[in-house]
Amino acid sequence: MPNTKRRRLFRGAATAVALTLGGTALAACGSDEGDGEAGSGPVSLTYWTWTPGMDKVVDLWNKGPGKKDRITVTVKKQASGDTLVTKILTAHKAGKAPDLVQAEYQALPTLVSNDALADISGEVGGAKEKFAEGVWQQTTLGTDAVYAVPQDIGPMMFYYREDLFQQYGLKVPTTWEQFAETARALKKKAPDKDLTTFSANDSGLFAGLAQQAGAKWWTTQGEQWKVGINDPATQKVAEFWGGLVEEGAIDNQPMYTPAWNKALNTGKQIAWVSAVWAPGTLTTAAPDTKGKWAMAPLPQWSTGENVTGSWGGSSTAVTTDSKHKEAAAKFAAWLNTDGEALNALAKESGIYPASTAAQLSGAFTKSPEYFANQADFYTKAAEIAQTTAPSAWGPNVNVAYTAFKDAFGSAAKNKSDFTAALDTMQEATVADLKKQGFEVSE
Amino acid sequence: MSTLAIRKTEPAAGTTPGTAQGPPLRRRIALIPTVTLLLGALYCLLPVAWVVIASTKSGNELFSTFTFLPGTGFAENLSDLNAYRDGVYWQWMGNSALYAILGALLSTVVSSFAGYALATYRFRGRETMFNVLLAGVLMPPVILAIPQYLLLAKADLTDSYWSVLLPQILSPYGVYLSRIYAAAAVPADVVEAGRMDGASEWRIFTRIALPMMVPGLVTVFLFQFVAIWNNFLLPYIMLSDDEKFPITLGLHTLLEQGANTPALYTLVITGAFLAVIPLVALFLVIQRFWSLDLLSGAVKS
């Protein structure tokens, strides 16, 4: 049975993955304490999430379906990021993880390999049809189990300054080749401006671009993990961006810095490869250029193709520490598939739902305020979301991401070879997997 | 002191100092140290100035106007911060104050007991104990956060106010400082004299030794206060309920809201600015205790 094999792959090597924070190694203490279903009495669940406004959405549950089923959920707001994974794993070591956690897709393998997430396929398996296949697959890790319910997604898109594109006579690129030409054309017409920048401070962007090109960074072969970070697809992406940086066609400064905000706000950079949540970022980064941007699908590697990567997105998972897994799974399914809940999530939290039905309803019938000039923003977004390439995450994404930031950060700064940086990233990831006790095929 | 030495340096009668023996040496400004110190001060103060100025900028001005040009949004930032989730910021501020004041007080009390005992009494294992403490001083508290979490989880104390207070009460550095200070400021003769007069050990400690140790203990209190106020990892690991968060954690959650939500920069900056004020105030108020003569002892030598 390939399924049980795969599960052993994750569970077999449960080690202290993320205790790097404290630098303390702790013996893994198995805490499988039976399900202990508490009959039909009132159930109280805790939920760790970073989504702003989640308390208001959960109120809907507590006053509605939750009241009926006597399941009360309490939100404990957390900060997002890799450190939250560490916090969940630390709590899990003590058997005190909350019933429900929010987790980014790329963190799921880490959590599963530490035996922190419960298989809820029995409770939420029926929700599968409500999500795009590439999205749902991320919560199963390719097994028959289901470890989470998708909440929000970040399909990638191309954002550009409509007015400046017109002013400089540029066409919206549909292939990466055209993208490079556009960058060069802009440099000729306005040497002090850049089409965009290659930034090494958010690994998710590069991972999404590689995903679009067809890269599979983590795959399994029998009992072994295979790391393909320097596979041909990713090499193509690295060479492409490295070339643009080297010839000076695009900038090499990191994003999310005050300087980057300024560059966007003043039109020094006139495009941004980003994801569906970009309107929110642009609202704070470039407030003066509101209404001047437009969104288009990501450029493709060959004409006629129609694929995008994803950058960001998260899911709702039930932990193995939960004493009420069934109730928790019920809530997770409601939160991410119920129309009322999704409407509230869009309104209160501004998330872009993973549920395909919700992508065109409620809050998403109207463009975001920042993109008032593009009436079909969300129709287009939903179409693009359907073309998301499948992703392949492994149990040490955080290590690969850190290696990316270091290696590509200095490569971008020195305008040096990106493929060498890619090899560094591959080596660091493989070495860490081995150190953690996973079997790795070379 | 010998009187000879005094005579020698005394100017001859009838002359005014500074004229007969030439002009007094003009104090030469040591250029390199001064520049170094000025640079150091600049390095420390620039970020503070940045926070102060940035907190006056509105969201639109924050990244678009000149860095050190004050903005116009301070009042708005304040009211936004006030309104954010029904003023949860002030809850965090209150929590920080509780952790820092109570924690530092308890820690100072424990340090004074332990430091005095280690300095005054001779007992077997004293040096070993002190060496273990020294090792504790060298150990960064960050390393202990996760073991402490697992320990308190056993006692079912995680996610409570105690989980943040308890681990910070015993401060190896505080005990170390107290011992050094007690050894220097509380002469054995005074303790002996107290015993001769029939005072109990407790009375000697509270009535005689403690007042002598005050300047040192103020230092311990301040160190602990600042350490707890700025502590991040321990409360981060211990607490999951954001109503119990101290200010450091609260501001962190404002920054890390997930990829699809913009970070609330203006709120975080204004919040950080307000969070610095109590520390500055504390230093200004407590400073005068340091001016006490460190050796205003009761013994003349």
Is A300 inside any structural domain?
A: yes
A111 and A229 within one domain: no
Is A386 inside any structural domain?
A: no
Interface with A, mutate which of B152, B260, B267 (most A CBs under 10 A): B260
Interface with A, mutate which of B261, B264, B269 (most A CBs under 10 A): B261
CB contact (8 A) between residue B60 and residue A287: yes
Is A35 inside any structural domain?
A: no
- pLDDT-derived band at B17 (thresholds 50, 70, 90) equals very low
Q: What angle do CA B282, B287, B292 make, to 5 degrees?
A: 145
* Chain A nearest CA to B24, separation (Å): 54
Is the confidence at residue B202, as pLDDT, over 60? yes
Residues 303-332 of chain A with CB under 8 A from chain B are: 311-314
A219 and A206 within one domain: yes
A212 and A69 within one domain: no
Whether chain A has a CB inside 8 Å of the CB on B63: the answer is yes
* Chain B nearest CA to A398, separation (Å): 16
A425 and A280 within one domain: yes
The SS3 assignment for A150 reads strand
Q: Which of A354, A378, A402 is the last residue in one of the domains?
A: A378
Chain B residues whose CB is inside 8 A of the A94 CB are 149-150, 153-154, 158
Q: What ipTM does the predicted assembly reach? A: 0.77
Q: Which of A334, A354, A378 is the last residue in one of the domains?
A: A378
- The domain tally of chain A equals 2
pLDDT, one tens digit per residue, over A273-309 is 999 999 988 988 888 899 999 999 999 999 989 999 9
Concatenated DSSP letters of B99-116:
HHHHHHHHHHHHHHHHHH
Which among A23, A261, A281 is the nearest to B143, CB-wise?
A23
Query: B82-289: what CATH class?
Result: mainly alpha
Higher pLDDT, B265 or A427: A427
**CB A244 within 8 Å of CB A250:** yes
Chain A residues whose CB is inside 8 A of the B88 CB are none
| Euclidean distance between CA atoms B256 and A89, whole angstroms | 19
Residues 391-430 of chain A with CB under 8 A from chain B are: none
A211 and A193 within one domain: yes
Which among A26, A77, A280 is the nearest to B262, CB-wise?
A280
Using only the alpha carbons of chain B, give its radius of gyration: 26
- How many residues comprise chain B? 301
For range B6-29, the mean pLDDT: 51
Is A29 inside any structural domain?
A: no
The SS3 assignment for A416 reads coil
Residue with tokens 């198995």: A30
pLDDT, one tens digit per residue, over A391-435 is 889 999 989 999 999 999 999 999 999 999 999 999 999 999 999
Residue B58: its pLDDT value, please? Answer: 84
The amino acid present at A45, given as its one-letter code, is L
Is the confidence at residue B114, as pLDDT, over 70? yes
**CB A307 within 8 Å of CB A385:** no
**Domain definitions of chain B by residue range:** 82-289
Contact residues for A119 (Cβ-Cβ < 8 A; gap 6+): A145, A146, A147
Q: Which of A348, A378, A408 is the last residue in one of the domains?
A: A378
Per-residue pLDDT of chain A (442 residues; tens, 9 = 90+): 344 444 445 543 443 333 333 333 333 333 333 344 445 679 999 999 999 889 999 999 999 999 999 999 999 999 988 889 999 999 999 999 999 999 999 999 999 999 999 999 999 988 999 998 889 989 998 888 999 999 999 999 999 999 999 999 999 999 999 999 999 999 999 999 999 999 988 899 999 999 999 999 999 888 889 999 999 999 999 999 999 999 999 999 888 887 898 899 999 999 999 999 999 889 888 888 999 999 999 999 999 899 999 998 999 999 999 999 999 999 999 999 999 999 999 888 888 999 998 998 888 888 888 999 999 999 999 999 999 998 889 999 989 999 999 999 999 999 999 999 999 999 999 999 999 999 998 7
The SS3 assignment for B33 reads helix
A338 and A194 within one domain: no
A102 and A86 within one domain: yes
Residues 204-263 of chain A with CB under 8 A from chain B are: 204, 258, 261-262
| Euclidean distance between CA atoms B267 and B263, whole angstroms | 9
Higher pLDDT, A284 or B24: A284
Mapped to the 3 state alphabet, what secondary structure does A253-310 carry? CCCCCHHHHHHHHCCCECEEEEECCHHHHHHHHCHHHCCCEEEEECCECCCCCCCECE
Chain B residues whose CB is inside 8 A of the A157 CB are none
Is the confidence at residue B301, as pLDDT, over 70? no
Residue B116: its pLDDT value, please? Answer: 95
CATH number of the domain that residue A412 is part of: 3.40.190.10
Show the domain range for A111: 40-154+310-378
Integer angstrom CA distances of residue B116 from A388, B119, B194, B204, B208: 68, 5, 15, 11, 12
| Euclidean distance between CA atoms A396 and A278, whole angstroms | 27
Residues 74-133 of chain A with CB under 8 A from chain B are: 76-81, 83, 87, 90-91, 93-96, 98
A221 and A335 within one domain: no
| Euclidean distance between CA atoms B106 and B221, whole angstroms | 9
